[in-house]
Amino acid sequence: MKKHSVAIAIVTIGLFFSCATNPLTGKKSLNFVSNSELFPSSFQQYGTFLKENKVISGTADAKRVENVGIKIRLAAEKYLTSIGQSEYLKDYRWEYKLIDSKEINAWCMPGGKIVVYSGILPVTKDDAGLATVMGHEVSHALANHGAQRMSASQLQQIGAVGVSLATGNQSSEKQQMWQQYYGVGSQVGVMLPFSRSHESEADKIGLTLMAIAGYNPDQAIVFWQRMAAQSAGQAQPEFLSTHPSDATRIANLKALVPEAKATAAKFGVVFK
C-alpha cells in the first residue's frame, strides 16, 4: 500500500511540475516531453516521410505553399515578439512542402515541419483558404499539442495500470471488464474531448495568425463551409470524433473573427 502511495505521489509531483503556461494559449498545459527531446525525432521522421513520398517542387502551387507558409511564420514571430516571447521559436526549423496525394489533408510536425497534400488545394482554392489550413496546422505545433497528446497518452497508460492494481484480486473476467470500461471511458470522456479542445485552440490561434499575415479571417469560414460540403453525410457524432463537428467549428470561427481582426489591427492590418 505504501508503495502505491509513493507511486501516486511521484506521478502527482510530476504532473505539477510538467504544467507550463503556453504563450499562445495563455493556459497551463500538460507536457512531459521537452522540445529538445521531441524536435530531433520530429525532424528525422519528416525527412523520412519526404523520401518516401513524392514532393512537388518548382510549380506555382509549390511556391504558393511556401509563400503562404512564410507569411504565417512571420505572423507568429510578430505576435510572439509583441508579447515578449521572441525566443519561443528559436529551435524551430521551418519547412513547407507540397506532396502529391489525393488526400484532402495537411499537417505540421513539432518544430515547424509542414506538409500540404495536393488533394486539398481544390478546396482551399486561393491563398486565404491555404492560409486557413496552414495557420491551423502551424498552431498545433506552436501550442505543443503533439507533446501534450503524448503526455496524455502516457497518463492514460498509467491509469490502466492503476485499474489493474485495483482489480488484481478479482477474477480475470472482471479484470478484463474493468479494463474495457476504463478504455472506453477514458477515450470518449477524456482523450477525444482533449483532442477536440486542441482543434478549437488551433482554429483560434490560426485565425489570428492568418489575420496578422494579411489574410481576411472571414475567408476561414468560407473555407470550412467548403470542407463541410466535402464530408456531407459522412461525419460521425462529435462526441466520438477527434475534431469538432463542422457546424460547431464554423459557429466558433464566426464568433472569433472580430477578435482576430482586432489583434491584426494592432499590427497595422485592417480589413474592409
Residues with a known catalytic role? 137
* Rounded Cα distance, 32 and 122, in Å: 39
- Helix (H) / strand (E) element for 108: namely strand 106-109
> For 222-242, b where at least 16 C-beta lie within 10 A, e where not — what string?
bbbeebeeeeeeeeeebeeee
Q: Cell 470561427 sits at which residue?
A: 253
* Structural contact between residues 74 and 94, judged by C-beta atoms closer than 8 angstroms: no
- Pairing type for strands 113-117 and 95-99 reads parallel
Among 260, 264, 253, residue whose Cα is nearest residue 212: 264
Q: Looking at the DSSP assignment, which residues form a beta bridge with residue 117? A: 99
3-state secondary structure of 96: strand
Backbone angles phi, psi at 21, to 5 degrees: -85, 125
- Closest C-alpha to 35, from 149, 150, 144: 144
Containing H/E element for 155?
A: helix 145-166
Cell of 152: 496524455
Q: Is residue 21 within 8 Å of 28, Cβ to Cβ?
A: yes
Q: Are 240 and 266 in contact (CB under 8 A)?
A: no
